[in-house]
Structure 1
Amino acid sequence: MFKNFCDDVVMSMLPHLNSFQLNTLKSTLEILCSKHMTEANKLDDNNSENEGKIVLSKFIQAKKLEGCSSKTLTYYENTITKMLSTLEKPPKHIDTSDLRQYLNEYQEKNNASRVSVDNIRRILSSFFSWLEDEDYIIKSPVRRIHKVKSAKVVKEVFSDEQVEILKDNCNSLRDKAIVELLCSSGMRVGELVNLNRNDINLVERECVVLGKGNKERVVYFDARAKLAIEGYLQTRTDDNPALFTHAHNNDQRLQIGGVEKMLRRMGALLNINKVHPHKFRRTLATSAIDKGMPIEQVQHLLGHQKIDTTLHYAMVKQHNVKHAHRKFIS
């Protein structure tokens, strides 16, 4: 556009200027046009960046209002910010081909798994669907990008023998109470470390935990966990409201990292593979479903919003499939 403008000016001045003057005019116009074009491009880039930041901020506010945790919000914000900075376009100008190319390049550059790429796709889908709902865009460009298929991996659970070995080899009454509570309640490790003493009802063998999205629910534990918790609390002389405290300082609440470190150390000493808090939760879900507990009740027990999430935790034992086949089909 600017080149055509320069040529038109030079042509219109042909009758009035000599060759030297025309060349000088042309050179000057080209320099000035190039300068203005660069400034215009910078302005567009700045507007694009600011526009992306504004709508992303509003999206994060909406998700915060919906009850998403700070960790989830940070993950959303970082993922979307990286996409916007890579594409260098305002959200309303991003189309399906842009996102397909972005996801492909992300996978290649980072050697990312299909599961990781699909997680990014889901976050982008949530973002652009929100933009569509807010009438910022006409149609989400992620609609035509389907779920990334990945191989289903059967994740490990503890065997009955491994559970008993872990319970019998705890180094302290605190560790014993933690293992017993994880085994019988199926709570998340984040829920466990946030428990206070007054959250525990030892008579009813239940406690109130604050789950994802700041949703409270009641979880239950067995008699062995009750006795372990009572034994541990009898050793406490501090007034810290936290149910579990640091091993060497009762003034400090136990953190997630402390639980994970303790369990890893136990696993290494007992030669048990992959001992971590979430494995207890998966083991409980698998065992409950395998023994006939209705999936809806397992869903409520684990605090899952969608039943599909609960099914991911369940691994039906093969010998029970064989028994059921003989009972109902053979």
Structure 2
Amino acid sequence: METAINLVLVQMQPILTCDQLKRLSEVLRCALTPKQDTCADLLRLFLTAKEVEGCSTRTIAYYENTIQHMVKTVGKPYTRIESDDLRGYLANYETKRNTSKVTIDNIRRILSSFFSWLEDEDYIVKSPVRRIHRVKTATVAKDVLSDEELETLRDNCDNVRDLAIVDMLAATGMRVGELVGLNIADIDLQERECIVTGKGNKQRPVYFDARAKLHLQEYLRTRSDTCPALFVSLDSTATRLSIGGVEARLRNLGKVTGVGRVHPHKFRRTLATHAIDKGMPIEQVQKLLGHARIDTTMHYAMVNQNNVKASHRKYLE
């Protein structure tokens, strides 16, 4: 391989400058004699980098599964995969699994992150995802919980822990991962606020109302264990409640009450929508939810059409 590279350089000497020859030499060696790490090594190094950046365990697992499925399907080492390979993979994935455009674009973004890392670390010359543009997705108005539905969920909680969970999610709009990560020491009942640790290990204060405070106090009075977690299992082990545990409880509560599909993120979207409808500045809603970009906040909040109509009459008629 080294002989072939030198032969190319000799033939290009009359045409290229010294700097250009040096750059050509670097490119050829990078492309033709890549680092000798295996695919498993490269994936492990990439996932470690994402962990250092502050990605959650669930996010890292999603990255790993997505990338492993892609390389198994394409059947090539990472360093040999081309744009057409990825286009074909995404097209077949969408067709065979009948997935949404949103899912396909999520996969594209994960692959883009991975191959950009390979490029930055000099394992490849250029990311093959650079030539694959963002997948256009339709904007779908997602459901939020009405005041009546929230009261129905509260009325059908059969224990004070679940009632406190519903109140905290509804009042703060925190992520479910932030909820289960809370410790009792993080709660300031006097000021009705707590510190949560969000994405990227960034901390921020969130605030809850008087109802959530009262139900938290009632729940904590029932606790006799020594676990530092705010929300624990109801059995004798009193272990920290998991994300899956919260999701399952809310899902069952939605079925029992007839409210429909209930999940933690729905409370978050509901809070954002209600806050904007009641006139809270979007920048403050952004801070409340812990969003890095204001566009994300706008995607969460479904503005009430009646308010749009009233504003049109107020400002434009």
User: Into which bin does the TM-score normalised by the smaller protein fall?
Assistant: 0.7 to 0.9
Q: Secondary structure at the match of 1:143?
A: helix
Do the aligned partners of 2:35 and 2:123 also contact (CA within 8 Å) in 1? no
Per-residue Cα deviation, 1:229-261 (whole angstroms, up to 9, x for no partner): 111112222322221222233622222333233
TM-score by length of 2: 0.83
Assess if the C-alpha contact under 8 Å between 2:144 and 2:266 holds in 1. Answer: yes
Counterpart of 1:158 in 2: which secondary structure? coil
Q: In structure 2, do the counterparts of structure 1 residues 63 and 108 end up closer, same or farther at CA, with 3 Å as the change threshold?
A: same
Identity value in percent: 61
Q: 2:165 aligns with which of 175, 178, 183?
A: 178
2:209 is equivalent to residue 204 of structure 1: no
Single out whichever of 49-58 and 282-291 deviates more from structure 2: 49-58
Moved over 6 A (4+): none
Distance 2:261 2:75 in 1: 42
Q: How many residues align?
A: 284
Give the 3-state SS of the residue equivalent to 2:204 in structure 1. Answer: strand
Alignment counterpart, residue 163 of structure 1, candidates 139, 142, 150: 150
Correspondent of 2:126 among 134, 139, 147:
139
**Shift, 1:185, TM fit:** 0.7
Q: Does 1:128 align with 2:115?
A: yes
- Larger RCO (CA under 8 A, 6+ residues apart): 2
Distance 1:262 1:59, change over 3 A: closer
1:73 paired to 2:60:
yes
One-letter amino acid matched to 2:46? F
Which residues of 2 match residues 53-72 of structure 1 at below 5 A? 53-72=40-59
Structure 2 unaligned residues grouped into runs of 5+: 1-33
Which sits farther off after the overlay, 52-61 or 170-179? 52-61
Q: For residues 108 and 174 of structure 1, do their structure 2 counterparts lie closer, same or farther at Cα, with a shift above 3 Å needed?
A: same
Amino acid at match of 2:70: M
Task: Return the alpha-carbon distance in structure 1 between the equivalents of residues 80 and 249 of structure 2.
Answer: 50
> What is the CA RMSD across the aligned residues, in angstroms?
2.1
- TM-score w.r.t. the length of structure 1 is 0.80
Is the 8 Å Cα contact of residues 285 and 313 (structure 1) preserved in structure 2?
A: yes
Structure 1 contact 49–90 (Cα < 8 Å) conserved: no
Q: Closer, same or farther in 2 for the Cα pair 1:175/1:89, shift >3 Å?
A: closer
For the pair shown, which has the larger CA radius of gyration, 1 or 2? 1
SS in 1 for 2:95: helix
Matches within 5 A, 1:184-195: 184-195=171-182
Q: CA deviation at 1:168?
A: 3.2
Provide Cα deviations, 1:145-203, integer angstroms capped at 9, x if missing partner: 11112222211101122222323332222222111111101111222122111110001
Moved more, 204-213 or 221-230: 204-213
Name the SS for the 1:217 alignment partner.
Answer: strand
3-state DSSP class of the match of 1:209?
strand
* Equivalent of residue 74 in structure 2, options 87, 90, 96: 87
* Separation (CA, whole Å) in 2 of partners of 1:180 and 1:147: 38
Distance in 2 (CA, whole Å) between partners of 1:261 and 1:296 is: 32
Distance 2:248 2:119 in 1: 44
Task: Give the aligned partner of residue 296 of structure 2.
Answer: 309
Mark the runs of 5 or more structure 1 residues left unpaired by the alignment.
1-46
Distance 1:245 1:90, change over 3 A: closer
Q: What residue number does 2:102 align with?
A: 115
Give the structure 2 partner of residue 254 of structure 1.
241
Residue identity matched to 1:56: L
Counterpart CA distance in 2 for 1:303 and 1:171 is 31
C-alpha distance in 1 between matches for 2:244 and 2:288: 24
**Higher mean displacement: 293-302 or 316-325:** 293-302
